[in-house]
Structure 1
Amino acid sequence: MKYISGSALLLIALATTPLAALGNESGNKNAAQQVEQYTDPFKMMEIVADKTFQRIARDQELIAKDKEHLRVIVNEELVPYVDSRYAALTVIGRSVNLRELPREEFDNFVVAFEDYMVASYAGALTYYRDQKVIIQPARPPENQSIMTIKTRVIDPGKPDITIDFKLRRNRGSEHWLVYDMVAEGISLLDSKRAELSNLIRQQGVARVTELLLEKAKEPIKVPE
């Protein structure tokens, strides 16, 4: 097991932030950025978590001056290791006929969904209070492309929080990326899909893309 300083609340906030109130291996815009690739998913989770929270601690002066700096940290430290394209595909689910959806329209949705999630992560990171996260070692399953890494968040004086990270690798690839997390039994992607599916069916992918982009542009703030 590995102890890591981190924020539990940011993960719970991401799993519960509502979207319904809105009236290539990864689709993220940092794909061109040079990032480290890991064939060991457990090692990847360790290093990414360490780097992210060390960066937050190091940049506290910048964050105090402007919370928008948290958006920079998320884009640079977390987004390169998230499979935004697959996550967006999962959220759309069966709300539309993907065979009939223009490629450009789907690509635009991926970008908007990622921008929204970056804003959500950045807002949730304002909860950072140096909690401890235990990442339980796990071996990638042979000949499978999906796996789960379990973590436990320890916050003195409060019940532990269990969080499962879902990872996948594309066919022919050895590199793992995060596509979902399940906090206390609540799947981030399942909750977003439930909230967005009706909007997509009623208003279409293009309109929901616009709504997500509008939401993502709002100033970073502590989630309610």
Structure 2
Amino acid sequence: MKFKTLLLGMLISVCSLALPVLAEVETYTDPFKMIEVVADRTFTRIAKDQKKIEDNPDYLRVVVNEELIPYIDSRYAALRVIGNAADLRNTPREDLVAFVDAFQEYMIATYAGVFTQYRDQKVMIEPASDIGNRKIISVKTRVIDPGKPDINIEFKLRQSKGSDNWLVFDMVAEGISLLDSKRAELSNIIRQQGLKNVTSLLLEKAKTPISNTKDQAEKAEQK
């Protein structure tokens, strides 16, 4: 199960691209090319900063924030997580904004923790195909980790209204939607405790220090 979690966090990184790079290569309006280019750049960044990460795992928050978050539709994903758990029409705008921000911080911490397990797995991306006039598409990828079965992951992307830009809003790994999982985890709590309380809960969880889960597992095995 930990390996699957690693893949979810690892693969979402291929949805990211540092803003200066974005201005140099045409990948933002081509979802297939974006994922291909970003996968290479993100994993290169993690490898290059490995010493910083080993010294301070919390540095992975910086990596995730710079390389991932600009290309995730956090607002759309957060509102999908809320779903019918709250009456969005009667929810104050500031409460929704606060929840979106808290959800984003929570996901930054989640992915940062998962990245501590990254050890040079390879990602194969399906060839580009004609997407026509579709506004939502899936891009299939395959994760190759020597000695382990391949894992198939689908990225779900949506085209921003009024532009040609694509943003990632969900991933499906082995039939499990990350977005649906988070919605199942949080929707009942939102109904029971309210959106403000869940916002505070997410912010508190986001503060948890990032730890090297691989080192923890190795130490546990030695005991």
Residue number in structure 1 paired with 2:7: 11
Residue type of the alignment partner of 1:122? A
Match of 2:64 among 32, 49, 74: 74
Partner of 1:20: none
Is the 8 Å Cα contact of residues 108 and 209 (structure 1) preserved in structure 2? yes
**Given that residues 149 and 164 in structure 1 are in contact (C-alpha distance below 8 angstroms), is that contact kept between their aligned partners in structure 2?**
yes
Alignment of 1:170-185 (within 5 A): 170-185=160-175
User: Amino acid of the residue matched to residue 139 of structure 2?
Assistant: I
TM-score by length of 2: 0.84
2:122 to 116, 132, 136: 132
The one of the two structures with greater contact order (alpha-carbon pairs below 8 A, sep at least 6) is 1
User: Over residues 96-155 of structure 1, what are the superposed CA-to-partner deviations in whole Å (9 max), with x where a residue is unaligned?
Assistant: 111011111001000000000000110000111101110112335222210000001111
The answer as to whether partners of 1:134 and 1:153 remain within 8 angstroms in 2 is: yes
Q: Partner residue of 2:200? A: 210
Question: Could you give the per-residue CA deviations for residues 142-196 of structure 1, whole angstroms, max 9, x where no partner exists?
Answer: 2221000000111111111011000001221101011000111110000110111
Preserved CA contact (<8 Å) 1:168 1:179: yes
**Equivalent residue for 1:28?**
none
Runs of 4+ that moved beyond 6 A: none
Percent identity between matched residues is 63
Q: What amino acid maps onto 1:49 in structure 2?
A: A
For the aligned residue pairs, the C-alpha RMSD in angstroms reads: 2.0
Picking from 139, 143, 162, the partner of 1:149 is: 139
User: What CA distance in whole angstroms lies between the structure 2 residues aligned with 1:101 and 1:140?
Assistant: 40
1:165/1:109 Cα in 2 relative to 1: closer, same or farther (>3 Å)?
Answer: same
SS in 2 for 1:127: coil
Q: Please give the residue correspondences for 1:163-202 in structure 2 after superposition, counting only pairs within 5 Å.
A: 163-202=153-192
For 2:7, the aligned partner's letter is: L
User: Is the CA contact (8 Å cut-off) linking 1:48 and 1:78 kept in structure 2?
Assistant: no
Task: Give how far 1:216 is off.
Answer: 0.2
Is residue 102 of structure 2 the alignment partner of residue 112 of structure 1?
yes
C-alpha separation between the residues in 2 aligned to 1:210 and 1:35? 35
> CA contact under 8 A between 1:8 and 1:153: conserved in structure 2?
no
Alignment of 1:84-123 (within 5 A): 84-123=74-113
* Residue of structure 2 in register with 1:42 after alignment: 32
Match of 2:41 among 21, 27, 51: 51
